[in-house]
Amino acid sequence: MSETTKTAEAFELTEELRQSPFMRACRREPVPYTPVWLMRQAGRYMKEYRDVRARHTFLEMCKQPEVAAEVTVYAAHRLGVDAAIIFADILLITEPLGLDLEFAKGEGPVIHNPVRAAEDVKRLREVEDVSSLSYVFDAIRLTRRELRPDLPLIGFCGAPFTLASYICEGGGSKNYVNTKRLMYTDAGAWHALMSLIARALSRYLNAQIEAGAQAVQLFDSWVGALSPDDYREFVLPHTREVIRNVMPGVPVIHFGTGTAGLLELLKEAGGDVIGLDWRVRLDEAWQRLGDVAVMGNFDSIALFTTPDIIRQRAEAILDQAANRPGHIFNLGHGILPETPVENVVALVEAVHELSQR
């Protein structure tokens, strides 16, 4: 039996999950109300998360399944959202690739042996076995058992370009000098790096599905740094490879920021749902994308205002969606640490109330 067949048999939806508003929206089917979940819904804006974080480093939280499951489940149930997303980090996959990852206090993620040239690409490892990430899969199994039975769980990974940019820069970046230098000066090394990442990601996502995720999301947080021509030549084939190799029947959300000029290319790369940031109107973006579900696109900074303003801005987005099947409400990016929890709850409640069919 092939690996794909085994994976397909492992993915079974209960009727409760299949008929959940989130899963129906992924399939562009009518829903009783617009489903909503929020990127970084388990995070530092919640006191309960900060209490857990005070006892663990960030990597410890990711690598201790009981802790990852606890914060995932608590956030989803506390907010009343329509999907949970597993607590993890997009950079965890870099360790089995052979990279030295650290989350430095006050600095964010640091890769101590970045890739800058072809010889650096050659020292990376092929991730044929994702068992070193078993803590993620164990967290998914625990979370699935503890979540409400009708609440879908989303697995995720970073998209190839965003991961490659971290790997080349050694951390976050504003201008992606090392990333683009490799891309422009040694296309062979660049494509070898991206292909290596893509193969690892497909295996990683499918293992998350086998563990109990009902949908998966690719985060291409930094892809807005690219021109359309560069995206088409250097990124699209590799992102498409990841998505095409995800187990059939599992919804894939393809999300990026700064992508107003790349939307048609993101759709070409693949995904059942295209995530939109706040820099584009939802109705105009959806018209450009055509026959695909969309996710978005509330500006997370508006969560620092008042419940009335939050409600007005949510209603404007829902009006743009116009009850068209296939809209999942979300932010244009993640919840920020200082966000008032009560405003996040107010947003979820407003979306549910305003979108009742």
In a 10 Å sphere around its CB, with 0-12 CB exposed, 13-18 middle and 19+ buried, how is residue 141 labelled? Answer: middle
Select which of 44, 141, 279, 281 is catalytic: 44
Question: Would you call 281 a catalytic residue per the annotation?
Answer: no
- From 89, 138, 150, 299, active-site residue: 89
Instruction: Return all residues near 226 (Cβ < 8 A) that are at least 6 apart.
Output: 161, 234, 235, 262
* Catalytically annotated residue among 166, 176, 204, 231: 166
Strands (E), 142-296: 153-158, 215-220, 252-256, 273-275, 293-295
Q: Which amino acid is at 331?
A: L
Task: Name which of 140, 154, 172 is nearest 41 in CA terms.
Answer: 154
The active-site residue out of 40, 144, 199, 313 is: 40
199 assigned to active site: no
Q: Is 40 a catalytic residue?
A: yes
User: Distance between CA 314 and CA 86 in Å, rounded?
Assistant: 25
The span from the CA of 250 to the CA of 166, in Å, is: 27
**8 Å CB contact between 111 and 99:** yes
In degrees and rounded to multiples of 5, residue 77 shows phi and psi of -75, -35
Catalytic residue among 18, 28, 53, 78: 53
Question: Which residues are designated catalytic?
Answer: 40, 44, 53, 89, 166
